[in-house]
A and B are shown apart, each in its own frame.
Chain A
């Protein structure tokens, strides 16, 4: 399992990267592996409000549909439309395949650094 040292992680297995004023959000390698092969992604629209700890979209594998829980509160500035036609990118390159970028962030969930996240996954 890969964990990128430069990213932060939520306990719901999303990664977060700060890019100027935007928070870039994706799912971790641990998450994509646990979910299995993804076949469908449901994304919010640009301008939608997201709330820390609440679902902003969902992903579907052959096994199940799972909510994507936002690690931050703010407004969706960009979505990765490429994923809509190619959900498998989340499996192939979880850290390259960002899902949404959030602006005007007012709150964040508790975020872990790479070492703490690795320890958290080991317990899971």
Chain B
């Protein structure tokens, strides 16, 4: 397929901008560009066809099964899109007088109350733009808390080795030293290892529960108690909230602050680069440290973003929470867990689960033995799935499992889809034994086969060179 620049025809126009209805202003000489930018010149028809053609070459939740572990690629109801598209929400400005945006403010207040109830928190900010930004904000709450008590000795944040890479990155960005603790053989926090590193130099612990191997850490009350006894605070990474929403609350597990990926758990299509929303919730005693927007005029307070965050993602989240309601939210979570267990049991007997026990919303397959036996790697299986119209699971994560494939089917998939997916996995399991070469070269039916990932990382070409 040709690039849009290659389709450009000099002089071709597409007048989509209305005539300027205010007097034109000339920029000062020093600010003007010296040459015109290279913009493709095309008709509206050709632009439309170009993007439709691109659209046909990608895979989204709307195209098919997307069991990308830890990403919660569930179907997002259209009604949430409709709510977010309402004119009263789209055509507002962060500096508009409050009297003209009362409805929008009510959206945020209602959503805050609902999500605080779901998570067991007392306060919440919607400023952070996405998950990692939420983590950053949350850990800054912890830092401000210790600073406010003049407890300057606390320089470390504990992160289990199964954590998402953003956790250690967040702690480091906040100026903390990261202390990695190894997981127990069951993938959960090793209490003895935790006790070894706890002390008066620990600012806090960052944890997901269920953890990254899809197991609910049953020692969670003991874990948060130990951290609190050492004077540290507990941060809940909301990456896996889809498994527990409405069933168990991070606040009740002993966590002091949390983030939620609204774009993931609460209905916004994601994976394309945003926008997202990483709402951060906290217990009462941390509320004084929550960030303020530029509007709230409290100097000295943390500010992580200009205004209210990505507001329309919050509108979708509220529409989602309100349509599902008090019964629907836990039902979605329990169905996510049921679907994951169903799929794991259906695949079992071929590829091996890394942890053979009841899982939460996702599970990890360990292909290391299969790879030794057949030469077919987790990557080969992932690439082969593409030929069946399935998005590959997360590969080679978490790092504590070798040749890992991590599947999260989500609650929005039917039993027929799960049966079909299990069938595909079983077929590939057999195929790898008889024709590994075929799988080394998969996918066979896509516009691009196997891009050279190493070459792409070593010598990336990130801009188009004009002839």
Chain A residues at the B interface, C-beta cutoff of 8 Å: 37, 39-40, 60, 62-65, 87-88
* Cα(A118)–Cα(B399), bound, Å: 24
* Interchain residue pairs A-B with the least CB separation, the first 4: A39-B457, A37-B454, A62-B453, A63-B396
Whether B165 pairs with A87 at a CB distance below 8 angstroms is no
* Cα(A65)–Cα(B457), bound, Å: 13
Report the nearest B residue to A91, measured CB to CB: B454
Whether B396 pairs with A64 at a CB distance below 8 angstroms is yes
Whether A87 pairs with B458 at a CB distance below 8 angstroms is yes
* Cα(A63)–Cα(B403), bound, Å: 11
Whether A39 pairs with B396 at a CB distance below 8 angstroms is no
Report the nearest B residue to A86, measured CB to CB: B458
For the A-B complex with A37-B454, A40-B457, A62-B453 known, give 12 more contacts whose Cβ atoms are closer than 8 Å. Answer: A39-B454, A39-B457, A39-B458, A60-B457, A62-B454, A62-B457, A63-B396, A64-B396, A64-B399, A65-B165, A87-B458, A88-B458
A39 cross-chain contacts in B, Cβ below 8 A:
454, 457-458
B457 cross-chain contacts in A, Cβ below 8 A:
39-40, 60, 62
* Cα(A63)–Cα(B165), bound, Å: 12
Shortest distance in angstroms between B215's beta carbon and chain A's nearest beta carbon? 21
Residues of B409-466 contacting chain A, CB below 8 A: 453-454, 457-458
15 pairs, CB–CB < 8 Å, chain A vs chain B: A37-B454, A39-B454, A39-B457, A39-B458, A40-B457, A60-B457, A62-B453, A62-B454, A62-B457, A63-B396, A64-B396, A64-B399, A65-B165, A87-B458, A88-B458
Which of B396, B399, B453, B458 has its CB near the most chain A CB atoms (within 10 A)? B458
Report the nearest A residue to B169, measured CB to CB: A65
A63 cross-chain contacts in B, Cβ below 8 A:
396
Residues of B392-411 contacting chain A, CB below 8 A: 396, 399
Query: What is the total of A-B residue contacts with beta carbons within 8 Å?
Result: 15
* Cα(A40)–Cα(B458), bound, Å: 8
A64 cross-chain contacts in B, Cβ below 8 A:
396, 399
A88 cross-chain contacts in B, Cβ below 8 A:
458
B453 cross-chain contacts in A, Cβ below 8 A:
62
Shortest distance in angstroms between A94's beta carbon and chain B's nearest beta carbon? 16
Report the nearest B residue to A67, measured CB to CB: B180
* Cα(A39)–Cα(B453), bound, Å: 10
Shortest distance in angstroms between A12's beta carbon and chain B's nearest beta carbon? 13
* Cα(A87)–Cα(B454), bound, Å: 11
* Cα(A63)–Cα(B395), bound, Å: 9
* Cα(A39)–Cα(B457), bound, Å: 6
Report the nearest B residue to A63, measured CB to CB: B396
B165 cross-chain contacts in A, Cβ below 8 A:
65
Shortest distance in angstroms between B440's beta carbon and chain A's nearest beta carbon? 16
* Cα(A88)–Cα(B457), bound, Å: 11
A65 cross-chain contacts in B, Cβ below 8 A:
165
Shortest distance in angstroms between B323's beta carbon and chain A's nearest beta carbon? 39
B399 cross-chain contacts in A, Cβ below 8 A:
64
B396 cross-chain contacts in A, Cβ below 8 A:
63-64
Shortest distance in angstroms between A34's beta carbon and chain B's nearest beta carbon? 9
Report the nearest A residue to B459, measured CB to CB: A39
B458 cross-chain contacts in A, Cβ below 8 A:
39, 87-88
Which of B165, B396, B399, B457 has its CB near the most chain A CB atoms (within 10 A)? B457
Report the nearest A residue to B395, measured CB to CB: A63
Interface 0/1 of B33-45, CB less than 8 Å to A: 0000000000000
* Cα(A39)–Cα(B456), bound, Å: 9
* Cα(A87)–Cα(B459), bound, Å: 12
Report the nearest B residue to A85, measured CB to CB: B458
* Cα(A87)–Cα(B399), bound, Å: 22
Report the nearest A residue to B453, measured CB to CB: A62
* Cα(A62)–Cα(B457), bound, Å: 7
A40 cross-chain contacts in B, Cβ below 8 A:
457
* Cα(A39)–Cα(B396), bound, Å: 17
Shortest distance in angstroms between A124's beta carbon and chain B's nearest beta carbon? 11
* Cα(A34)–Cα(B190), bound, Å: 25
A87 cross-chain contacts in B, Cβ below 8 A:
458
* Cα(A37)–Cα(B453), bound, Å: 9
Shortest distance in angstroms between A72's beta carbon and chain B's nearest beta carbon? 20
B454 cross-chain contacts in A, Cβ below 8 A:
37, 39, 62
Report the nearest A residue to B458, measured CB to CB: A39
Shortest distance in angstroms between B290's beta carbon and chain A's nearest beta carbon? 32
Shortest distance in angstroms between B291's beta carbon and chain A's nearest beta carbon? 29
Shortest distance in angstroms between A57's beta carbon and chain B's nearest beta carbon? 14
Report the nearest B residue to A54, measured CB to CB: B177
Report the nearest A residue to B454, measured CB to CB: A37
* Cα(A115)–Cα(B457), bound, Å: 36
Shortest distance in angstroms between A38's beta carbon and chain B's nearest beta carbon? 9
Report the nearest B residue to A66, measured CB to CB: B399
Interface 0/1 of B63-107, CB less than 8 Å to A: 000000000000000000000000000000000000000000000
Interface 0/1 of B373-403, CB less than 8 Å to A: 0000000000000000000000010010000
Interface 0/1 of B161-187, CB less than 8 Å to A: 000010000000000000000000000
